[in-house]
Chains A and B, each alone.
Chain A
Amino acid sequence: MSHFDVAEVRSRFPILQQEVNGQPLVYLDNAATTQKPESVIEAIANYYRHDNANVHRGAHALSDRATEVFEGAREKVAQFIGAPSKDQILWTRGTTESINVVAASWGEQNLTAGDRVLVSAMEHHANIVPWQMIAQKRGANVEPIPVDADGAIDMAAFESLLDERVKMVAVGHVSNALGSVNPVAHIIELAHKAGAKVLIDAAQSIAHWPVNMVELGCDFYAFSAHKMFGPTGMGVLYGKRELLEAMQPYQGGGEMIESVSFAGTTYNQLPYKFEAGTPNIAGAVGLAAAVDFVQGLDRSAADRHEAELLHRARAELAAIGGYPLVGKAESAVAVLSFVSDFAHPQDIGMILDQQGIAVRTGNHCAQPIMDQFGIPGTVRASFSLYNTHDDVDRLIAGLKKAKMFLA
C-alpha cells in the first residue's frame, strides 16, 4: 500500500501557508470550495500572459492557440470522466448551471402534466429548485426520495416510488450536507428499468474518485471545477449523445448557431449548441490543469488518507461529548456534520473562526433535510486531501474550547 505524502501535496497550495487570526490556517470548508494548487493558478496566469484570444473566431495565431487549449481541455475532461466523446462535454458555469440546462431544455421537451421527477430528500437546492421551476411550468411534480435517520437513501422506498410517470431521477453522488455516499449505480439501474432518465450531481464526488460515464451509464452528469481544485465559474455537463442532440439550446447568442437570418436560424452542432457567447476560456484552462493535478496523484492513497481523517475526527468528536453527529450513513466521505447540545451551530463556527479554523455553518443549501432532522443547520467540517492529522487535532481542540466557552 503506497504512502500518501500529504506534506508534499500540501506544499503545492500557496493559500494554505498563511495565518488567520494569528494562527496557521486550518481550512475545513472544502465541500464549499477546494483550494487551488500552484499549477492551476499558473496555468490560468500563463493563459492570460501568452495565449489569450477569443476562440473559434479570429484567423490569427493567438486565436488558434486559445482554441487549441480550450478544446484540449474538453478532450482532457472527456477522458477524465470516461465520456465516449468530447462533444458530450458541455461547458457551464458550474453544477448549478449544468442542472438548470437539463431541467430547462430536457424538461421542456420531456415533461408533461402528471409526470414525476424524483430527487433525494437531501439534495442541494441546486438539484431541487431547477426541477421545481420546470415542473411548475409543465404541470409535473417533484417528489422527494426518503432519506433515513442516518442520512442514507431508503432504497426500498425509492423502488416503490418508481412507476411509468417517473421521467427523471436526479440525485447527488455525495451529500454536501451529510457526506453520505449514495448507491448511484443501483439507483441508475432501477430508474432505467422503470424507464426514467438519471442525472447525477457529482459536485461533491468528483474530487474523490475516478468515474467512467460508460460504466456508470447515467444520462446526465454535472460537476463544478472549483470543487476539484479548479477555478470558479467553470463547470461541466456530460450527457448521452442522443439526449443532447434532441435538446433545444438553453441560451441563444454567438457560437451556438450555424447560420442566422431573419427568416430563421439553425443551430450549431454539439457541444457548441449549448455554449452561447464567449466562453470561460481561462476557466477551461484552469480545469484542465486541475485534472492534471488530480490525475498526477495516487487517488486511492489520497482517498484512504481522507477516510483516515474522517474516521479519526468522528471518533474524537464523539469523545468530547455534546456534539451529536448529523448523518451517520455507513458510506460517507470527507464531511463531518454535527450540531451541539449547548449552542447554535453559528456560535461554534464563530469560535472556531477566531482560532483560525474555517468551517461552514448553516443549512448548507439543503434545507429540506435539515427540516426533516428538526435542526436549523449544522457545523460542517469538510476535508480534502491536503488536510492533515494536525488539522484534525486543531479542530478537536477548537471544539473543546468552544464547549468550554458556551456550555
Chain B
Amino acid sequence: MTEFGVDVSAEDIVDTLSFFDDWEERYKYIIDLGKELPPLAESAKTEQNLVRGCQSQVWLDSQLREGKLYFVADSDAFIVKGLLAIVLAAYNGKSAAQVADYDIDAYFDELNLLSHLSSTRGNGLKAMVQRIQNEGRAAL
C-alpha cells in the first residue's frame, strides 16, 4: 500500500499553501488533500486506533517497515482529514529518530493558516501529533 506523504512532502504543502491568498482556496486545497488520503480499512478503525480528544472521530494506524514509520489516518470530517494529510506528509516514511525529533510547531508556523487550527481543542490535531511522536519515541 502507498501511504500518503511519501510522494507529497511537507515542503510541497507549505509551498502550495503559500500561493493562495484567500481562505476558500486554502480550504479547498486542504479538503482535496484529505481526499487523497488512502482510506483506513474498517478493521483498523478500532478502539485502540481511535485518537481521543477530537470532536470528529480520528483514527491513526502505524507500521514500522525497514526502520521507517508509516502512518495511515482517517476522520469522518473532511477538513480534519485534510489536516491529517498535512501532518502525515511531515512524518511518513521517516525514521523513528526523525519522527521523534521533528519540529512540528515550526511546520505549523510555516503553514500559517494552521496557527489557530492547531491550537483548537476538538479538531484532534494536537492529540494526533502527540500520538505520532509517542510512536516515534517508542520505536527508537
**A residues at B contact (CB < 8 Å):** 21, 343-347, 350-351, 354, 361-362, 376-377, 405-406
Residues in A neighbouring B27, C-beta threshold 8 A: 350-351, 354, 405
A343-B77, A376-B57 given; 15 more Cβ-contact pairs under 8 Å: A21-B23, A343-B78, A346-B56, A347-B78, A350-B27, A350-B117, A351-B79, A354-B24, A354-B27, A361-B55, A362-B122, A376-B55, A376-B56, A377-B55, A405-B24
Residues on B with beta carbons closer than 8 Å to the beta carbon of A361: 55
What is the CB-to-nearest-CB distance from A339 to chain B, in angstroms, rounded to a whole number?
12
Whole-angstrom distance between the Cβ of B124 and the nearest chain A Cβ:
10
Which of B23, B27, B75, B78 counts the most A-chain CB atoms under 10 A from its CB?
A: B78
Q: How far is the CB of B126 from chain A (nearest CB, A)?
A: 15
A376-B76 contact given A344-B56, A346-B56, CB 8 Å threshold? yes
Q: Which of A343, A346, A377, A406 lies at the interface centre, i.e. has the most chain B CB atoms within 10 A of its CB?
A: A346
* B137 lies within 8 A of chain A by Cβ: no
Instruction: Enumerate chain A residues within 8 angstroms of B31, measured Cβ to Cβ.
Output: 405-406
Q: Which A residues lie within 8 Å of B24 (CB)?
A: 354, 405
Are B122 and A346 in touch, CB under 8 angstroms?
A: yes
Residues of B within 8 Å of A347, CB to CB, are: 77-80
B92 at the interface (CB under 8 A from A): no
State whether the Cβ of B133 lies closer than 8 Å to any Cβ in chain A. no
**How many angstroms between the C-alpha atoms of A347 and B55 in the bound complex?**
11
Q: List 7 A-B contacts (CB under 8 A).
A: A344-B77, A344-B78, A344-B80, A346-B122, A347-B78, A350-B27, A376-B76
A346 to B57, CA, bound (A): 11
The answer to whether B23 touches A406 (Cβ under 8 A) is no
What's the Cα separation between A344 and B34 when bound, in Å? 14
Rounded to whole Å, the gap between the CB of B54 and the closest CB of chain A is: 9
Residues of B within 8 A of A376 (CB): 55-57, 76
Chain A residues with Cβ below 8 Å from B55 are 345-346, 361-362, 376-377
Contact yes or no, B23 A346, CB < 8 A: no
Determine the chain A residues whose CB is within 8 A of the CB of B76 once the complex forms: 344, 376
Separation of A362 and B53 alpha carbons in the complex (Å): 12
Residues of B within 8 A of A21 (CB): 23
The chain B residue with its CB closest to the CB of A361 is B55
User: Please, which residues of chain A bring their CB within 8 A of the CB of B23?
Assistant: 21, 354
In the complex, residue of chain B having the shortest beta-carbon distance to the beta carbon of A353: B116
* CB–CB A346/B28 < 8 A: no
CA distance A377 to B31 in the complex (A): 21
Min CB–CB distance A280 → chain B (angstroms): 26
The smallest beta-carbon distance between A313 and chain B, in angstroms, is: 23
Complex CA gap A377/B122 in Å reads: 12
Instruction: Tell me which residues across on chain A come within 8 A of B75, comparing CB atoms.
Output: 344
* 1/0 contact string of B4-26 vs chain A (CB within 8 Å): 00000000000000000001100
B123 within 8 A of A: yes
Residue picked from B23, B31, B55, B117, most chain A C-beta under 10 Å: B55
A352 CB, min distance to chain B CBs, angstroms: 12
**A346 proximity list for chain B (CB < 8 A):** 55-56, 77, 79-80, 122-123
Q: Which residue of A lies closest to B76 (CB)?
A: A344
Interchain nearest-CB distance for B4 vs A (Å): 19
